[in-house]
Amino acid sequence: MYIKRTMEATIAKASSSFPVLMVTGPRQIGKTTLLQRCSESNRRYITLDDLNDRSLAKSDPELFFKRNPPPILIDEVQYAPELFSYIKIICDRERKNGLFWLTGSQKFHLMQNVSESLAGRIAILDLLGLSQAEIFNHAHDTQPLIPTSEWLINARKHARSDFSLMEVYKRIWSGSFPQIVLQTNTDRDLFYASYVQTYIQRDVREITNITNETGFYNFLRAVAARTGQLLNYADLARDADINHRTVKDWLNILETSGIIYLLRPYHNHVVNRLIKTPKLYFLDTGLCSYLTRWQSVDSLEAGAMSGHILETYIFTEILKSYWHNGKEAYFHFYRDKDDREIDLIIDQNNTLYPIEMKKTANPAANAPSNFKFLCGLQQNVGRGMVVCLAEKDIPLSRDVDAVPISYL
């Protein structure tokens, strides 16, 4: 079974505009399946997981491309960075779009090689797990979330009255990996245990020469326990028994391999009381729930992480609405030294759109009370939104709506 992905239309558009298309994202997220689904009949497929193909690509890139001319889909291209300079030569010679489709799950190394070799010749798309819209079969009609009346009118078409509190947390607890969503008989804990082992033993080892695998696993669990919270380097160093420099290095690994997202705070020259510490979000709530050892949907919903994991889910769904449509996500949050906070600010068209993410079905009219502090930033401020567990959208004021999670 295949679930239609929002990115399909973006792939077609990008491939017709650039000679090289790259889809990056965590392992087992569906990159290869998506591109094979979109491929033309004459596009070859090569995976560098195959050691014979990888060896040839690394030792003799010119012969590799003589045997495998474009149009071609090369899977896990990070294993042979030697190919990039030859891809550039072929692109400059052929002067056609859509020649090379690439996938990779190690963004750190990929971006180093791309910036050196393929600048101006490549479209780069970031794929995450299945979005709520994709699972609910309206991937084709998903727009990047901006709290405007136009977005709200379109979102109402996809409202679901059956998306109850426990259904939301079931989705959160299960996660968004295609195998988990599509194969309902998959043992969740076994899947994530295998995923973490492979991630540490393959991906992390190939990014950095890590020797303390147990320490990295403990660090990964400590990070998961802090999803939706301000990043505290000292706490992470203490819990994982590592130094501050290692915390920063390992956070960089998690970020570049698509495990976490660091949401930077909004700041400008007008207000000097804004904090500079980022917030941390896990990019798959199922993996996060597994690492923090919530054994059931009920225990997760009632537990200490309930609010933070719901916020994480909402944030990742909003992020997917941008990335899966091939759009940059200019996201920030607001927090000043008086602890006044706005969960998310979307910066679009020189306008700041404030968003709160709440575990409530009946948000109070003063729920978005901190939105007013944006007016002191000397920026245009658009409509605001409170994403919550309400059954339908509710106007909280002239400029703020409460919106159900099912609209995402």
Which of 98, 126, 154 terminates a domain? The answer is 126
Residue 320 belongs to a domain: yes
pTM (global) more than 0.85: yes
Residue 370's pLDDT is what? 85
Residue 2 belongs to a domain: no
What are the phi and psi torsion angles at 147 (to 5°)?
-70, 60
66 and 193: one domain?
no
109 and 153: one domain?
no
pLDDT tens digit at each of 408 positions of the chain:
789 999 999 999 999 999 999 999 999 999 999 999 999 999 999 999 999 999 999 999 999 999 999 999 999 998 899 999 999 999 999 999 999 999 988 665 666 667 677 888 999 999 999 999 999 998 888 899 999 999 999 999 888 878 899 999 999 999 999 999 998 888 999 999 999 999 998 888 877 778 788 889 999 999 999 999 999 999 999 998 899 999 999 999 999 889 999 999 987 755 556 678 999 999 999 999 999 999 999 999 999 999 999 999 999 999 999 999 999 999 999 988 888 899 999 999 889 999 999 999 999 888 788 888 887 777 899 999 999 999 999 999 999 999 999 999
Residue 399's pLDDT is what? 92
Which of 126, 146, 177 terminates a domain? The answer is 126
- What are the b/e assignments for 329-357, b being 16+ CB within 10 Å? bebbbbbbeeeebbbbbbbbeeebbbbbb
Residue 201's pLDDT is what? 86
145 and 165: one domain?
yes
260 and 347: one domain?
yes
Residue 325's pLDDT is what? 96
287 and 163: one domain?
yes
Q: Is the dihedral of CA 139, 140, 145, 150 positive or negative?
A: negative
The range of the structural domain enclosing residue 262 comes to 132-407
Which of 126, 144, 178 terminates a domain? The answer is 126
Residue 1 belongs to a domain: no
Residue 375 belongs to a domain: yes
Count how many domains the chain has: 2
Residue 90 belongs to a domain: yes
141 and 170: one domain?
yes
Residue 273's pLDDT is what? 61
146 and 171: one domain?
yes
Residue 306 belongs to a domain: yes
Residue 401's pLDDT is what? 94
- The CATH number of whichever domain residue 11 belongs to comes to 3.40.50.300
342 and 304: one domain?
yes
Nearest to 38 by CA among 19, 17, 18, 14: 14
137 and 108: one domain?
no
Give 123's strand partners. 21
Q: Which helix (H) or strand (E) holds 136?
A: none
Residue 244 belongs to a domain: yes
Residue 109's pLDDT is what? 61
- DSSP state at residue 203: I
Within a 13 Å sphere around the CA of 277, how many CA atoms are in the beta-carbon half? 14
147 and 241: one domain?
yes
78 and 170: one domain?
no
Residue 119's pLDDT is what? 84
| Alpha helix positions (H), 29-182 | 31-38, 51-59, 61-67, 83-94, 107-117, 132-135, 149-156, 165-174, 178-182
137 and 118: one domain?
no
Name every residue whose Cβ is closer than 8 Å to that of residue 112 and which is 6 or more positions away in sequence: none
